[in-house]
Amino acid sequence: MQVIRTVAAMQDLRKTLPEESIGFVPTMGYLHAGHASLVARARLENACTVVSIFVNPTQFGPNEDFANYPRDEERDLELLETNNVDFVFMPSALDIYGAEKNTAVVHLNTVADTLEGAKRPGHFDGVCTVVAKLFNIVRPKQAYFGQKDAQQLAVIKKMVRDLNFAVKIIPCPTRRDPDGLAMSSRNVYLSPSDRATALLISRGLGAAKALWQEGQRDSALLVDRVRQEMAHGNFAGIDYVELVNGEDFAKMTEALPGAIIVVAAKVGQTRLIDNMVLE
């Protein structure tokens, strides 16, 4: 496994690799089994695999956890080497964005304006900008993203379509711990009591999906079923529980196949997101 720490070195390396051979997994590090599943699929479907580790400052708001976001380079590299990754790209923020404070920004309307976009102004500008930069540097044939960040996935798919990137976006299923909690780097923040509360999110989503599979199509009733389960916990706040179209994240009154129930809530000091596709 080779570690590349500068944009120039990554671009030079890319010139030596055959075209249409790169499977790319962009991450912010503090890797877990969910990331490993993305890597495994990328390795299966591509001649070589590149994983980036970059905690992107531009997608964090002023009162968010950028400074305290969990980081463990040694642990991450060990996991990637164990999973037979070919190249790890670990640039600095200075190398990605340059010394100037103002940089070109990729901004999307519609799908990026609701829910996470509304709750975290500028978040998806930061996501789109860094992903566009990474795509231009690595030039992958396929890029792999987890479905846990469902709105981010929809935003990136739209950006790729709108800007004609020659990369195929591969969605990968959400990985969960045995107790049902969606895997997230931020789970490390949860105390045992916080985790007990957090588990009510996935339980509520599962209960709503079971109701849908029994024939219920009223989105309000399905959303209410999630909230009923979450009402048993000690949440610091619930940002939203909504049923949306998986393409543009518009709210739906009828829960058609492929609709997504999305949740964002704060447990203690930790903000968590999760979702369930109705299928």
Q: Catalytic residue numbers?
A: 35
Q: Which residues pair with 241 in a beta bridge?
A: 263
Tell me if 117 sits within 8 A of 124, measured CB to CB: yes
Q: Which residues pair with 59 in a beta bridge?
A: none
Which runs of consecutive H residues, i.e. helices, occur in 83-184?
93-97, 116-119, 123-138, 150-162
Tell how far CA 266 is from the center of its chain: 17
Of 218, 279, 220, 221, the C-alpha closest to 254 is 218
Give backbone dihedrals phi and psi of 26, rounded to 5 degrees, phi first: -80, 135
Q: Is the dihedral of CA 13, 8, 2, 88 positive or negative?
A: negative
E strand or H helix at 239, and its extent?
Answer: strand 237-244
Give me 45's structure tokens.
């479907």
* 249: three-class secondary structure by DSSP: coil
Phi-psi region of 145 (alpha: psi -120 to 50; beta: other; left: phi over 0): beta
Give me 78's structure tokens.
């060990």
Burial 132-149 (b: 16+ CB within 10 A, else e): bbbbebbbbbbbbbbbbb
How far is it, in rounded angstroms, from Cα 169 to Cα 149?
Answer: 14
> What type of residue is 50?
V
